């Protein structure tokens, strides 16, 4: 039987806004983040064991969501979920492709993020190309 992890919140590791954030999932009373080594698919879920991180989880209901899908339950093999906290109360969740579209329209005043977002997109595109090239061997 495939385990289903319920999307319940986010973790903003650096407590900075705007910032890329970790979607947080719950399964059998424990909290998890998705394995982010793949660009496209969730390979596994990693248990959050640090009490300080668990206490820092922000529930999804605290946000106005820009979310491309109403999907709440995730399993290994599902699309990786990209999280981006825009403000104290606004959050984007979606696939990498959806984030690229969203980022084109995003109005960011933070100078670091103006550089970081295009850099992140380019890095993910490169990782994707490398994965595709290696899959043909």
- Domain membership of residue 75 as a residue range: 5-135
Confirm if 93 and 82 have CB atoms less than 8 A apart: yes
What is the number of structural domains in the chain?
1
| Predicted model pTM | 0.85
pLDDT digit string, tens, across residues 35-71: 877 778 899 999 999 999 999 999 999 999 887 666 8
Tell me the pLDDT tens digit for each residue of 81-103: 999 999 999 999 998 888 888 88
């Amino acid at each position: 039987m495939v385990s289903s992890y319920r999307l319940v919140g986010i973790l903003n590791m650096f407590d900075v806004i705007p910032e890329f954030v970790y979607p947080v999932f719950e399964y059998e009373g424990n909290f998890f983040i998705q394995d982010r080594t793949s660009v496209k698919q969730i390979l596994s879920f990693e248990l959050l064991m640090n009490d300080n991180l668990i206490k820092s989880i922000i529930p999804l209901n605290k946000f106005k969501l820009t979310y491309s899908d109403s999907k709440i339950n995730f399993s290994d093999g599902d699309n990786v979920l990209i999280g981006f906290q825009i403000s104290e109360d606004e959050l984007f969740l979606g696939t990498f492709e959806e984030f690229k579209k969203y980022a084109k329209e995003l109005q960011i005043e933070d100078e670091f993020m103006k550089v970081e977002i295009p850099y992140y997109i380019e890095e993910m595109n490169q990782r994707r190309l490398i994965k595709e090239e290696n899959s043909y061997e």
